[in-house]
Amino acid sequence: MKYFFPFTLTAFALAAGAVAAAPLPAGAIKNVVLVHGSFADGSGWRGVADILIKDGYTVSVVQHPETSLADDVTAVKRVLAMQDGPAVLVGHSYGGAVITQAGSDPKVAALVYIAGMAPDEGEAAGALLQKIPAASTAVKPTADGYLRLDPTQFHADFAADLPPELTRFMALSQVFTNGAAFGVPITNPAWKTKPTWAMVATQDRAINPELERCMYKRANAKVVEVNASHAVYISRPKETAALIERAATGK
Residue 21 in any domain: the answer is no
Angle (deg, nearest 10), helices 151-158 and 164-172: 120
| CATH, residue 130 | 3.40.50.1820
Q: Of all residues in the chain, what percent are helix, strand and coil, respectively (each to 5)?
A: 40, 20, 40
pLDDT band at residue 21 using 50, 70 and 90 as cut-offs: confident
Give the pLDDT confidence score for residue 20 in this predicted structure: 57
- Name the residue range of residue 129's domain: 27-249
Residue 10 in any domain: the answer is no
Residue 55 in any domain: the answer is yes
How many structural domains comprise the chain?
1
Residue 94 in any domain: the answer is yes
Nearest to 93 by CA among 229, 184, 247: 229
Looking at the predicted structure, is the pLDDT value of residue 11 above 70?
Answer: no
Residue 17 in any domain: the answer is no
Give the pLDDT confidence score for residue 245 in this predicted structure: 98
Distance CA 76, CA 68 (A): 13
Q: What number of other Cβ atoms are within 10 A of residue 166's Cβ?
A: 14
138-188 pLDDT, tens digit each: 999 999 999 999 999 999 999 999 999 999 999 999 999 999 999 999 999
Give the pLDDT confidence score for residue 23 in this predicted structure: 83
Give the pLDDT confidence score for residue 25 in this predicted structure: 87
Nearest to 140 by CA among 96, 174, 184: 174
The letter for the amino acid at 131 is: K
Distance CA 178, CA 190 (A): 23
218-235 pLDDT, tens digit each: 999 999 999 999 999 999
Residue 1 in any domain: the answer is no
Q: Taking a C-beta distance cutoff of 8 angstroms, is the pair 37, 93 a contact?
A: yes
36-75 pLDDT, tens digit each: 999 999 999 999 999 999 999 999 999 999 999 999 999 9
Degrees to nearest 5, angle at CA 234 with 232 and 237: 85
Residue 6 in any domain: the answer is no
Give the list of residues 6+ apart from residue 164 with CB closer than 8 angstroms, or none.
155
Distance CA 182, CA 197 (A): 23
Residue 18 in any domain: the answer is no
